[in-house]
């Protein structure tokens, strides 16, 4: 048994799923906030926000690697 491998509150797979969901929501919100505050072109801003609402998880990762990593990298 691997009872020592995970902390007590992570023994259930459902707990890990909930934590992943919460972290995903936080990441999506941060990318949405970054887009709203840092995009200068109104059309690009509108299209990115629309994309983030249509496909939140995938679009947040795409926005991070296409826009944020390019600007800060």
Q: Per-residue pLDDT for 25 more than 70?
A: yes
Q: What is the mean pLDDT of the chain?
A: 84
pLDDT of amino acid 17: 83
The encoded tokens of residue 52 equal 């983030």
The encoded tokens of residue 20 equal 């992943």
Four-residue CA torsion sign, 64, 66, 67, 70: positive
Rg (CA), the chain: 16
Query: Which of helix, strand or coil describes residue 29?
Result: helix
Q: Per-residue pLDDT for 12 more than 90?
A: no
Of 67, 65, 48, which is closest to residue 56 (Cα–Cα)? 48
Q: Per-residue pLDDT for 33 more than 70?
A: yes
pLDDT of amino acid 5: 61
Of 52, 60, 68, 70, which is closest to residue 27 (Cα–Cα)? 60
pLDDT of amino acid 6: 61
């Amino acid at each position: 048994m691997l009872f020592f491998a995970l902390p007590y509150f992570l023994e259930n797979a459902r707990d890990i799923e909930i934590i992943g969901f919460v972290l995903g929501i936080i990441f999506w919100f941060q990318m949405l906030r970054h887009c709203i505050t840092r995009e200068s072109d109104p059309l690009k801003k509108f299209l990115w926000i629309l994309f983030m609402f249509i496909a939140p998880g995938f679009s947040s990762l795409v926005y991070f690697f296409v826009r944020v990593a390019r600007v800060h990298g």
